[in-house]
């Protein structure tokens, strides 16, 4: 488009310059032809006066006037040939040059006769030859003027035709460009729609896969937790009871009785560890009493395990958060506190649970090392993002004014209420 625009601009500029040049030359040519015609008319008037019998002057008196007109005519002819626009044939050029030469030869002969005293013969030659030649020259010059005007009209028509062609080409180019733009835009829109549809399908498949993976993970952890609590817990409880009974049958002060007591204590310790592991994998209190009760149990436990002082704040009131929504929120809190213990280097953390403005908001804040402007791509961060997306909420990794890290999970209340309704209906 730019190259074509520059080309058209250059052509139009050249055409305008050519038009101005042709118009100027044509005007000068017309002026010279009018000058020649005016000189020929002056010669005609002079010859009429020379033939007038009432004139008291001899014919030689007009010799100086003829010389002046001749000099002016020759100058005008040279100038006219330089500025002539219309192309003339060699025959036309020879005819004009020959006619003027013959006219001046005849005029010289007439003045020679007059100088020799034969004025009557000189006047006769004027009537018979010189006036006819002057009339023929006037006719030729008039014809040149007509041709010059016709050439000017043809030049104007050609210029207008060129302008029209350039204009049509510009219109065709603009039309083709607009058509190309429209077709390209339609193609891009269609391609983008197809790509967005594919991306939407892939995103839906990905979300479904992530949801299934998380659900499978939670189901597996729940199953393992239940097996640990029910199977291993019952076995260890039975072992402890059997060891206790066996110890009672052993004699007092017997080494066997002391050993049975140590084994019983070991079984009880293992039972406590199994129960703690079961609660860590999937706290049963979350299903039974909801998220808030699970947090009240979990936070003191993790505080003792990792050695980080945790301040828990709860604002607002809402229906119990349990089911899938409760699991996701609990896992986000669990991962955030694990990051505090492993990476922040802080010895204190704040956990805030808020119910307000139709949303549930969970915040975990520490004043440790903090994170960069873009959180890492670790599995923990990715899992937190996926859980927030599954809840239809958002998760932010911010840097508080005091430094460190602030993890903020925001979940719409509609999601929590829907999960609660599904849980009740399932129950």
CA 167, CA 174: separation in Å to the nearest integer? 10
**pLDDT beyond 80 at 207:** no
**pLDDT beyond 50 at 182:** yes
Angle, helices 255-281/291-306, rounded to nearest 10 degrees:
120
Per the model's pLDDT, the better-predicted residue between 29 and 415 turns out to be: 29
Say if domain 287-426 classifies as CATH 3.40.50.2300: no
Mean pLDDT on 200-205 = 84
Q: Is the pTM of this model over 0.75?
A: no
Under the banding of pLDDT at 50, 70 and 90, the label for residue 327 is: confident
**pLDDT beyond 50 at 424:** no
Q: Which residues pair with 17 in a beta bridge?
A: none
Closest CA to 48 of 119, 127, 150: 127
Closest CA to 273 of 332, 331, 333, 232: 232
CATH topology of domain 2-179: 1.20.120
Predicted pLDDT at 24: 76
- Please write the tens of the pLDDT for every residue from 123-134: 888 888 888 888
| Residue 200 CB neighbours (<10 A) | 10
Q: Which residues pair with 409 in a beta bridge?
A: 362, 395
Closest CA to 354 of 305, 315, 388: 315
Number of H-type helices and E-type strands within the chain = 12, 5
Most confident by average pLDDT, 79-93, 259-273, 312-326 = 259-273
Residue ranges covered by each domain of the chain: 2-179, 287-426
Average pLDDT, the chain: 81
CA distances from 121 to 48, 113, 185, 204 (A): 16, 7, 93, 121
């Amino acid at each position: 488009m730019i190259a074509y625009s520059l080309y058209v601009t250059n052509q139009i500029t050249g055409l305008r310059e050519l038009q101005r040049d042709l118009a100027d030359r044509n005007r000068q040519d017309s002026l010279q032809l009018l000058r020649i015609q005016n000189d020929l008319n002056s010669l005609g008037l002079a010859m009429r006066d020379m033939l007038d019998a009432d004139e008291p002057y001899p014919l030689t008196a007009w010799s100086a006037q003829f010389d002046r007109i001749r000099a002016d005519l020759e100058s005008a002819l040279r100038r006219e040939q330089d500025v002539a626009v219309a192309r003339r044939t060699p025959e036309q050029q020879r005819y004009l040059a020959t006619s003027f030469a013959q006219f001046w030869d005849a005029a010289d002969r007439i003045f020679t006769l007059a100088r020799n005293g034969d004025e009557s013969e000189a006047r006769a030659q004027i009537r018979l030859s010189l006036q006819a030649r002057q009339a023929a020259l006037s006719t030729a010059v008039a014809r040149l003027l007509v041709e010059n005007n016709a050439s000017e009209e043809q030049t104007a028509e050609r210029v207008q035709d060129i302008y029209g062609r350039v204009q049509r080409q510009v219109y065709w180019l603009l039309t083709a460009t607009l058509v190309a733009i429209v077709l390209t835009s339609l193609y891009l829109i269609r391609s983008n729609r197809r790509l967005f549809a594919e991306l939407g399908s892939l995103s839906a498949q990905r979300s479904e896969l992530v949801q299934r993976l998380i659900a499978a993970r939670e189901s597996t952890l729940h199953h393992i937790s239940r097996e640990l609590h029910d199977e291993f817990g019952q076995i260890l409880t039975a072992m402890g009871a059997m060891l206790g009974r066996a110890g009672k049958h052993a004699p007092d002060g017997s080494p066997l009785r002391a050993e049975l007591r140590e084994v019983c204590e070991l079984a009880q310790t293992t039972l406590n560890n199994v129960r703690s592991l079961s609660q860590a994998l999937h706290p049963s209190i979350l299903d039974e009493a909801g998220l808030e009760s699970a947090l009240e149990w979990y936070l003191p436990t993790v505080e003792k395990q990792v050695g980080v002082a945790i301040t828990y704040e709860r604002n607002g009131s809402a229906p119990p958060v349990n089911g899938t929504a409760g699991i996701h929120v609990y896992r986000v809190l669990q991962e955030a506190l694990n990051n505090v213990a492993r990476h922040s280097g802080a010895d204190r953390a704040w956990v805030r649970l808020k119910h307000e403005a139709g949303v549930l908001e969970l915040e975990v804040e520490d004043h440790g090392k903090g994170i960069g402007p873009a959180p890492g791509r670790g599995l923990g961060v990715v899992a937190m993002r996926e859980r927030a997306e599954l809840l239809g909420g958002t998760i932010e990794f911010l840097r508080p004014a005091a430094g460190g890290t602030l993890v903020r999970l925001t979940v719409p209340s509609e999601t929590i209420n829907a999960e609660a309704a599904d849980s009740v209906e399932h129950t």
